[in-house]
Structure 1
Amino acid sequence: MLRVGLSLPRCPGGAAGAFPMAEPAAGEDAGTGREVLGSSPVTIVVTSEADTWDIDTSSGPDCGQFVDWDKMPEPQQPAEIPRDVLSRPPKELKRLAREGCWAGSHAGRARLYPRLIQQVSCRLVTPDALVYRDVAGRLFGKPSVSSHPLPEFLEGCPMPTYCLSPHGVTALKKILVCVGALFPDITHSPLVPALAALLLHYSEDEAQCFESLSRLIASNAPHAAYIDQSFLAHQASCMTFGDLASKHCPAAHKLIAGAAENVLEVYSEWLSWLFPGLPFGYAVRVLDVFLLEGQKVLYRIALALLKQFRLSVTPAGLQGSDVKAELQAFVRNISEHVSVEQLLERAFGIRLFSRKEIWLLQMANRKALMERGITVVQRRPSFHLAVDMQNFSSSTVTAQEMRLVWSWIPERFSLFPPLLLFSTSENGCSLQRFYTCCEGYEPTVLLIKTTEGEVCGAFLSSDWSERNKSGATSGFFGTGECFVFTVRPEAEKYEWVLIKKPELAKAVPRSRQRSPSPAPESRLGSSRDSRGSSPNHLAVPSPQRRGRLSPFLAIRHFLLPSKTASMFMCGSRDGIVIGEGG
C-alpha cells in the first residue's frame, strides 16, 4: 500500500507532522508546514499493508506525538487484538471493549478509535479533518502561540490534560477553539474538553482528533446521544442521573440526602466524577466502551462509583462534611478501593433501563426544566431547589425529614414549589373533603402521622380523580413512579412494583413472595431468589413481556400505551389503602 504525506499549507501540527520531512536546504525555512502550497517538498513514505490496516500492538511513528510518556501509567501486558475485530457483531465488539481487549496497547487504540468513530451515525454536513486544517490555518496562521480565548461554552468547565505534553496541551486548546468556531450552537458542554484530551492521546494529528470529536458532537443516532451541548440538556442529564440513583442506589442516595442540603447540586457534578475525576487508566477504559455504547455507559459507571462510595464511608463520618468534595476525593483515589476491571464489572451488573427509556426520562426532565424557564441558549445559571428548607415548618415532619422525602420525588417534579392542599388541622378528618381538596392536582405527596408518632406517606404522580375512571367504587390507580415510604421510626422508600392481575398477588403466600426484577425473564411463582431479595421492595411477583417499555416510564407522562400498570393505592368513600401491592 502506498501512503502519501503532503506538507499541507497553514496546518499547525497537521497531517504532515506524522511523516518524516526532507531536510531543508541552507537558508530555507525549517519547515513549519505553514508555507503556501507547493513551496515545500512532497514526501512519499511507503509502508507495509500490515502497518497501515492491522489493529495490532506495535507502535508507529505517528502514535502518541502529543503524549508525555513519563506521565503515562505503566503499560499492561498487551493482549492479542483479533485481526477481524472491526467486522465482529456489535454485541461481541461491546464484550471485547468491556473486557479490555485493547486496554494494553496504545498503538491498538490509536488505530481502532478512528475506525470505531467512523461508524457513528452523524449529520450529513459534519466538519472533518480538511475543514479543521482550513479553519485552523485561518485562525492561528504562522504564530506558534495563539491568543485566541477558549469558547464561551467552556466557562466553568474543567479542562483536563491527563498525560499530554506541552505540545499536546497547545493542540488541545486549538482544537477546542475550532470546535467553538464550527459548532456555534453549543452553549454548555463539560464533556467536550475531556473527550478531546483523551482522543488526542491516540490521534496521529490535531485534524484527526478534531474529526473524531466532531462526529461524536454531530451524532444523530436515535436515543444514543454522546455529548450534551446545552445547559438545558446537561441539567436534564443530571436530573436523570438523580432519578436513576434514587432507584438503583437507594442506600447511597439516602446517605447523601441526609448529609447534603441540596441533593440535586451533588448530582449535578456526576459527570465530573468520571471526567476529569477518574485517573487516566480508568478514564480511558471508560472511553473504550463509551465509543461503542454512548452516554448510557457513563450513567452505569457513575452509579457504580456511587455504590462503592457508600461502602467506603459511614453516615456519621459524612455528617458536617462537604459531600461533593468527599465524592471527588474518593473518585481520585478510586484505585485504593476497586480496580478498573471490578468497577466495570459492577457497572454492567446494574440492571439499568434501556437506552430508549433513559432517553424518555431525559425528555421528561427537559420538559420540566423548560417549564421552569430554562432554555436551550441559556448559560449556566444558579440552580436551587424549590423548597426552602431553612424556613420549612410542619407538625408532621422535620425539615431534615422533608429534605429526604423531597429527594425521593422524581427530579422534574421537585423543581416546583409545593402547595398545601389538605391538612387535618385546617380541613378536618373527612375523607370526602380530602378528595375534594386534592382532586385536580398532580403530582401529590401524602404525609400521615399516627397517634403513636409514626410517619408514613406516599407519592402519587396521578390525579386522585383517576380512582373513579374504572367505574368501580374502589380500584387501583397511579403509574410506576408512585411509591410509598416511611419516615419514622425508620426512613425507607418502597419501590414500584408491577401487578398485571392483582388477585394473583393475594394468592401467593407472603413467605413465597419476592422482590420483582426488571428482567423480562421474571416468572410468577419463581421463588429460588427469595433469600436475596431486598426488604425495601414490595414483595409482588410480576411477569413482564419482552420488548415492552418499563411501566416506570410507559404510562401517560410520555403518552405511550401500556396495559401493565403499577398499583400502590386505592380508595373509596370509606378509606384509603396504601401499599402492599394487594
Structure 2
Amino acid sequence: ADSPKNYVDWEKIDPEAATCYGKILSSDHYELKAMGRTGFWSMPHTLRAKAYQHIIHSIESTSTTADLDTYHGIVRKLFGELQTSTHPFPKFMEDGEIPRYCLNKAGLNSVKKILICINHHFPDVSFCPILSALVSLLLHLSEDEAQCFHSICSLVSYTDPKKRYIDRTFLTSRASCMTFGDLANKYCRGIRKLIASSHQNLFEFYSDWIMWIFADLPFTYAIRVLDVYLMEGYKVLYRVALALLSFYKVSVSSRVAHVDDFRQDMKSFVQNVGRHSTIDALLQRAFSIQLPTRKELTYLFNANKDALIHKDIHNKSSYQAMDFRAFRSSVVTETEMRVVWAWIPERFALFSPVQLFSTNIHGRSLFSFYSKVEGHDPTVLLLKTEDEEICGAFLSSDWAQKNCDEKGFKFFGTGECFVFTVSNVQWCRSLGCLTNVIPLIRNKLSPTKDMSLHHSAHCQPSNSWQEMMRHFLLVSLCGLYPAGGDDGHALHLQADLTAGSSEHCDTFESPPLCRGCFKIQFLEVWGIQHSLSVPPLPSQ
C-alpha cells in the first residue's frame, strides 16, 4: 500500500523543515559535517530521512551499488511470490540478534529479509556484526525495504580506505579492534591497566567496542551517531567508543573492586548511558579527542592486519588468548608482565614474550648481551636494582642498529618507545607515535605495587610519520643508554652490566626511574615469539 507521504505535500505542512532541507542541499561536505555533529536534521523525522537520502546519494556516486530493482529480483529468487523466509540468519552476524530499536514484528522481519539479501548479494562479507544494527536504523529512515537495501549496499561497496564504512571479514574487524585498542591505550589509560591487572581478557573486552555503539546504545543516541557516521565514516566510531570508554572510566573507578566482569559491566553502562551523559555531551567529548589523521590510522590498521596475518588469525576460532601462567622472570611477576604487555602496541601484544637475555643465565658481558638481543625487535628490557627497585623500557627497534658514529654514539628507535617503573608510586604513560605531549597521569594499580610508563614527548599529531620516527635509544662504546638522549638519560647501564643510573629525561618526560645511581641485581631482555616486520610507510 502507498504511504500517506505519497499523497501529502509535507513541505507546506512543515515549511521550517523544508527550509532546513534546502540548506542541506546547498551545503558542501564540511558544512554537512558540522550539521551532522550538531543534530541539524534530527527533527522532524522526515527531514532526517531526506538528509540521509542526500548523503547516501553522495556515497553511492563513488561506489558500485545495487539499484532498487536488484533487491526485488533477489527477494523473488530467495523467497518466492509469498515472500516468506525460513532462511537462517546470515553467517556475518555473530549471534543472530537484531537490535529492536522500537521496530515492531513486521519491521524485524523486514530487517531479516534485507540481511539475507545482503548476504546473497555480497558473498564475500563473512563477518560484520554491525550490519543488523545499521539495517534496523536505516529502515526507520527508508521509504521501503528496497531503499534500505540500496543504502546498505552503498556503505558496503564504498572503496576509499581512508573513509571506509564496513569491515567485511573477521580479519579486518579484528584489525579495527586492535587499532581501537592502540587508541584506547593512549586516550583511556586507566581502563586497560585495570583489566590487564584483573586477569580478565582484554581481547574479549575490546572485541565489543563497535557493538557498544551499534547494539548497546539507546536508539536516540545511536541515531545521532549514525548522523555523523554517514558523513564521516569509520573514524567517527573510534571517537564515540573512546568517549564512551572515558565516561565509563569515571563510573567504574569508584566501584572497581566490585566488578567481576568488565565486559558485561561496560555493556550495562552503555545501555544506561543516559544516567551519565546526554548525547550532545557524548558527541562533544568524542570530537574533542585529537585523533591521528586518517592516513596515520590507515597505516596503523594495516600494520595490525599484517600482524594478524603473520600469526595466521583469520577467524575467531584461530585466536588464542595470551597465556602468562608459564611466565617466569627474576625481575617481575606474571601480573606485572601482563600489565607491561598490555601497554605495548597491539600488533606486538598478539605474541607471547620470549626471554632473549638474562644476567642469571648469560652473565654480565656486553658482548653476550648484544649477541642475544641483536636481530630482535621489538624488545622489553627489565631490571631490578639491589634496592629492589624495578624499571625497564620498551624498545621498538632492533639493537643491531646500534652501530656508532665517529664520536662513539648513535641514536635509534621510534616514537613507540617508552620507559616504565614498577613501584608503589604511580603509572604514567603517553603514546608517543600517535600524539602530542601527555601530562603525567597517576592511577592506582594495587595498594602495594604499581607501574609507571613514560613515552617520548617529541611527536606532534600534525607531523608526518617520517617526522615521528624520532631516535630515542642511545648506544655508546662505554655502555648502554637504552632510553634517552642528550636531554637527560632515562636509563644508563654500565658496560659490565653491574650498575647504572637514571635521571630526568625530557625525551620521555620522565622523572628518574630509580634513585640516581644503582647496582643491578637482575637484568633481562624479552622479545616476542615471532619476529614481525612493520609494513612500509604509505607513499606521501
TM-score, scaled relative to structure 2: 0.82
Equivalence for 1:466: 401
User: Does residue 107 of the first structure (1) align with residue 46 of the second (2)?
Assistant: yes
**Aligned-pair CA distance for 1:565:** 3.0
Equivalence for 2:319: 383
Identity over aligned residues, as a percent?
Answer: 42
Q: Is the 8 A contact 2:393 2:420 kept in 1?
A: yes
- Equivalent residue for 1:566, pick from 463, 470, 492: 470
Q: Is the 8 A contact 2:17 2:44 kept in 1?
A: yes
Q: Deviations over 1:418-461 (max 9, x none)?
A: 22110011111223321221011111111111112121111111
Secondary structure at the counterpart of residue 422 of structure 1: strand
Q: Is the 8 A contact 1:480 1:497 kept in 2?
A: yes
Equivalence for 1:265: 204
**Aligned-pair CA distance for 1:221:** 2.1
Equivalence for 2:327: 392
Gapped runs of 5+ residues in structure 2? 443-451, 484-489, 491-504, 508-540
Equivalence for 1:166: 105
Q: Distance in 1 between matches of 2:292 and 2:307?
A: 20
Secondary structure at the counterpart of residue 394 of structure 2: strand
- Equivalent residue for 2:353, pick from 418, 429, 443: 418
Q: Distance in 2 between matches of 1:268 and 1:211?
A: 28
Q: Deviations over 1:289-323 (max 9, x none)?
A: 00001011110111111111110113763466011
User: Does residue 18 of the first structure (1) align with residue 3 of the second (2)?
Assistant: yes
Q: Distance in 2 between matches of 1:51 and 1:367?
A: 56
Q: Is the 8 A contact 1:455 1:486 kept in 2?
A: yes
Alignment of structure 1 residues 241-252 onto 2, 5 Å: 241-252=180-191
Q: Is the 8 A contact 1:55 1:112 kept in 2?
A: no
Equivalence for 1:42: none
Moved more, 190-199 or 395-404: 395-404
Secondary structure at the counterpart of residue 126 of structure 1: coil
Equivalence for 2:263: 324
Structure 2 CA distance for partners of 1:145 and 1:219, relative to 1, 3 Å: same
- Equivalent residue for 1:367, pick from 295, 306, 313: 306
Q: Is the 8 A contact 1:447 1:456 kept in 2?
A: yes
Structure 2 CA distance for partners of 1:543 and 1:434, relative to 1, 3 Å: closer
Alignment of structure 1 residues 340-359 onto 2, 5 Å: 340-359=279-298
Secondary structure at the counterpart of residue 571 of structure 1: strand
**Aligned-pair CA distance for 1:491:** 5.2
Structure 2 CA distance for partners of 1:280 and 1:471, relative to 1, 3 Å: farther
Equivalence for 2:424: 489
Equivalence for 2:449: none
Structure 2 CA distance for partners of 1:329 and 1:443, relative to 1, 3 Å: same
**Aligned-pair CA distance for 1:472:** 4.8
Moved more, 166-175 or 447-456: 447-456
Q: Is the 8 A contact 1:301 1:343 kept in 2?
A: yes
The count of aligned residue pairs is 477
Structure 2 CA distance for partners of 1:472 and 1:225, relative to 1, 3 Å: farther
Q: Is the 8 A contact 1:486 1:493 kept in 2?
A: no
Alignment of structure 1 residues 381-530 onto 2, 5 Å: 381=317, 383-386=319-322, 388-468=323-403, 472-490=407-425, 492-495=427-430, 497=432, 518=436
- Equivalent residue for 1:296, pick from 206, 213, 235: 235
Structure 2 CA distance for partners of 1:328 and 1:264, relative to 1, 3 Å: same
Secondary structure at the counterpart of residue 474 of structure 2: strand
Q: Distance in 2 between matches of 1:91 and 1:171?
A: 34
Structure 2 CA distance for partners of 1:427 and 1:581, relative to 1, 3 Å: farther
Alignment of structure 1 residues 86-235 onto 2, 5 Å: 86-120=25-59, 125-143=64-82, 145-156=84-95, 158-235=97-174
Q: What letter corresponds to residue 18 of structure 1 in structure 2?
A: S
Q: Is the 8 A contact 2:457 2:506 kept in 1?
A: no
**Aligned-pair CA distance for 1:360:** 1.0
Structure number with bigger Rg: 1
User: Does residue 335 of the first structure (1) align with residue 270 of the second (2)?
Assistant: no
Secondary structure at the counterpart of residue 303 of structure 1: helix
Q: Is the 8 A contact 1:483 1:568 kept in 2?
A: no
Q: Deviations over 1:210-242 (max 9, x none)?
A: 000100000012411101010000010111111
Q: What letter corresponds to residue 173 of structure 2 in structure 1?
A: H
Q: Distance in 1 between matches of 2:150 and 2:70?
A: 9
Structure 2 CA distance for partners of 1:118 and 1:82, relative to 1, 3 Å: closer
Q: Is the 8 A contact 2:125 2:168 kept in 1?
A: yes
Q: Deviations over 1:135-163 (max 9, x none)?
A: 11222223253212221121435421211
Q: Distance in 1 between matches of 2:21 and 2:53?
A: 17
Please state which structure has a larger fraction of its residues in strand: 2
Secondary structure at the counterpart of residue 276 of structure 1: helix
Structure 2 CA distance for partners of 1:56 and 1:400, relative to 1, 3 Å: farther
Q: Distance in 2 between matches of 1:493 and 1:300?
A: 23
Q: What letter corresponds to residue 164 of structure 1 in structure 2?
A: L
Q: What letter corresponds to residue 370 of structure 2 in structure 1?
A: Y
Q: Distance in 2 between matches of 1:231 and 1:55?
A: 47
**Aligned-pair CA distance for 1:581:** 3.8
Secondary structure at the counterpart of residue 429 of structure 1: coil
RMSD of aligned Cα (Å): 2.8
Moved more, 444-453 or 324-333: 444-453
Q: Distance in 2 between matches of 1:574 and 1:496?
A: 30
Structure 2 CA distance for partners of 1:423 and 1:121, relative to 1, 3 Å: farther
**Aligned-pair CA distance for 1:381:** 1.6
Moved more, 362-371 or 97-106: 97-106
Q: Distance in 2 between matches of 1:314 and 1:490?
A: 18
**Aligned-pair CA distance for 1:338:** 0.9
Structure 2 CA distance for partners of 1:472 and 1:133, relative to 1, 3 Å: farther
Secondary structure at the counterpart of residue 146 of structure 1: coil
Q: Which has the higher contact order (CA 8 A, sep 6+)?
A: 2
**Aligned-pair CA distance for 1:486:** 1.5
Secondary structure at the counterpart of residue 186 of structure 1: coil
**Aligned-pair CA distance for 1:260:** 4.1
Secondary structure at the counterpart of residue 391 of structure 1: coil
Q: Is the 8 A contact 1:55 1:111 kept in 2?
A: no
Gapped runs of 5+ residues in structure 1? 1-15, 21-44, 59-79, 499-515, 520-529, 555-561
Q: What letter corresponds to residue 574 of structure 1 in structure 2?
A: C
Q: What letter corresponds to residue 3 of structure 2 in structure 1?
A: A
Q: Is the 8 A contact 2:89 2:96 kept in 1?
A: no
Moved more, 569-578 or 451-460: 569-578
